[in-house]
A and B are shown apart, each in its own frame.
Chain A
Amino acid sequence: MTLTARRRLHNAILSVVIILLALICAIPLWIIFINSFKTSGEMMKDPFGMPASFSLDNYRHAFASLPIGRAFLNTIIVTVLSVFIQVFVGSLAAYGMILKKSRFTAAIGTLLVLSFVIPGQTLIIPQYRMMADWGLVDHLASVICIYSAGAAFCYYLIVGYMRGLPQSLFEAARLDGAGPWRIYFQIVLPLIRPILITTIVFQTMSAWNDFMTANIYLSSVDKQTIVLQVFSAQGQFTTNWPLFMAVTTIALIPVFIFFLICQRWIVSGLVSGAVKG
Chain B
Amino acid sequence: MSAQTLSPQAETMDQAAHDRAKKRINLRENLQAGEFLLPVILIFVVITIIPFLESFVFSLTDYSGYDFSSAKFVGLENYVTMFKDPTIMAGLGFTLMYAVLTTLIVTIIALPLAVVLNKKFWGHNFARSVFFFLSIPSMALLGLVWQFIVSPLPSGAVNQFLSHFGVSAVPWLSNPDLARGCVIFIAVWATIGWHATLYIAYLQAIPSDLYEQASVDGANGWQQFIHITLPQMTPAIGVSVFMLLTSGLKVYDLPFTLIGGGPGHATYTVTQSIIVTGIGSNRYGLGSALGVVFFLCCLVLVLVQQAVTRAIEKRMA
Residues of A within 8 A of B284 (CB): 125
Using CB atoms, name the residue of chain A closest to B206.
Answer: A272
CB-based contact A117/B131 at 8 Å: no
Q: Could you list 24 examples of A-B contacts with CB < 8 Å?
A: A11-B119, A19-B126, A89-B40, A96-B32, A96-B34, A96-B37, A104-B33, A114-B48, A114-B49, A115-B48, A117-B246, A122-B58, A122-B288, A126-B55, A129-B68, A130-B51, A146-B47, A151-B39, A156-B239, A180-B32, A263-B125, A272-B204, A272-B206, A276-B207
CB-based contact B235/A163 at 8 Å: yes
In the complex, A11 Cα to B207 Cα: how many Å? 23
Residues of A within 8 A of B134 (CB): 25-26, 28-29
CB-based contact B197/A198 at 8 Å: yes
In the complex, A25 Cα to B238 Cα: how many Å? 26
Asked if B26 CB lies within 8 Å of chain A CBs, one says yes
Asked if B79 CB lies within 8 Å of chain A CBs, one says no
The 5 A-B residue pairs with the shortest CB-CB distance in the complex, in nearest-first order: A96-B36, A122-B291, A126-B51, A93-B40, A117-B298
Q: Is chain B's binding surface mostly helix, strand, loop or mixed?
A: helix
In the complex, A93 Cα to B279 Cα: how many Å? 34
CB-based contact B65/A125 at 8 Å: yes
CB-based contact A211/B116 at 8 Å: no
* Given contacts A122-B291, A125-B284, A152-B44, A104 and B51 within 8 Å (CB-CB): no
CB-based contact B40/A117 at 8 Å: no
Interface residue total, chain B, C-beta cutoff 8 A:
98
CB-based contact A19/B127 at 8 Å: yes
Asked if B225 CB lies within 8 Å of chain A CBs, one says no
The smallest C-beta distance from A141 to any residue of chain B, in angstroms, reads: 13
Interface residue total, chain A, C-beta cutoff 8 A:
103
* Given contacts A118-B48, A272-B204, A259 and B238 within 8 Å (CB-CB): no
Q: How many A-B residue pairs have CB under 8 A?
A: 286
Asked if B9 CB lies within 8 Å of chain A CBs, one says no
The smallest C-beta distance from B175 to any residue of chain A, in angstroms, reads: 22
CB-based contact A28/B146 at 8 Å: yes
Q: A-facing mask of B110-154, CB < 8 A → 1, else 0? A: 000000111111111111111111101110111011101100000
CB-based contact B189/A102 at 8 Å: no
* Given contacts A113-B302, A121-B287, A148-B47, A48 and B148 within 8 Å (CB-CB): yes
Asked if B94 CB lies within 8 Å of chain A CBs, one says no
In the complex, A47 Cα to B158 Cα: how many Å? 13
The smallest C-beta distance from B44 to any residue of chain A, in angstroms, reads: 6
Q: Given A104-B33, A116-B242, A119-B291, output 20 extra A-B contacts at Cβ < 8 Å.
A: A18-B124, A93-B39, A93-B40, A102-B33, A111-B44, A118-B291, A122-B274, A122-B279, A122-B288, A126-B51, A130-B46, A149-B43, A149-B44, A160-B236, A160-B239, A164-B205, A194-B200, A252-B136, A266-B204, A273-B208
